[in-house]
């Protein structure tokens, strides 16, 4: 593996790491419907604003989100809505995995 390959894989891992938390996944689902302010996001995911802000910052650094200020309020939106396709694929993996497990259990039982 070349050094540039390694760097690319590290960058991809950073994006995936930015998604690898239930609250961050909930935030992506919430932002699928459009831009939201931090206060609204915190309320919807039932978490403290400071905690949500840390999650948002990590996601923004990974290139998933963009933000804008309006007075004292900060609004976030998906910078790369294609991430929703990836999450749809993850759901497909889970459906397939659970279907395979259920099928195996029926054979055993």
Burial class from Cβ neighbours inside 10 Å (0-12, 13-18, 19+) for residue 78 reads buried
Look up the pTM and report it.
0.84
Q: Is the dihedral of CA 19, 55, 84, 82 positive or negative?
A: negative
What integer pLDDT is reported at residue 54 of this predicted model?
Answer: 97
3-state secondary structure of 2: coil
Taking the C-alpha atoms of residue 59 and residue 75, their distance in angstroms, rounded to an integer, is: 14
Give 3-80's CATH code, choosing from 1.10.4160.10, 3.30.590.20, 1.10.10.10, 1.20.900.10: 1.10.10.10
Taking the C-alpha atoms of residue 98 and residue 104, their distance in angstroms, rounded to an integer, is: 10
What integer pLDDT is reported at residue 105 of this predicted model?
Answer: 67
User: Could you tell me the two tokens for 47?
Assistant: 């978490």
Segments of the chain with pLDDT less than 50 = none
What integer pLDDT is reported at residue 107 of this predicted model?
Answer: 73
Residue 72 has what DSSP assignment? T
């Amino acid at each position: 593996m070349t050094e540039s390959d390694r760097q690319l894989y590290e960058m991809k891992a950073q994006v995936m790491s930015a998604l690898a938390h239930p609250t961050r996944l909930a935030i992506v689902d919430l932002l699928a419907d459009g831009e939201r302010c931090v206060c609204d996001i915190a309320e919807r995911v039932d978490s403290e604003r400071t905690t949500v802000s840390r999650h948002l910052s990590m996601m923004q650094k990974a290139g998933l989100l963009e933000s804008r200020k309006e007075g004292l309020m900060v609004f976030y939106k998906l910078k790369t809505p294609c991430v929703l396709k990836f999450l749809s694929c993850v759901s497909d993996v889970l459906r397939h995995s659970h279907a395979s497990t259920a099928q195996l259990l029926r054979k055993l039982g």
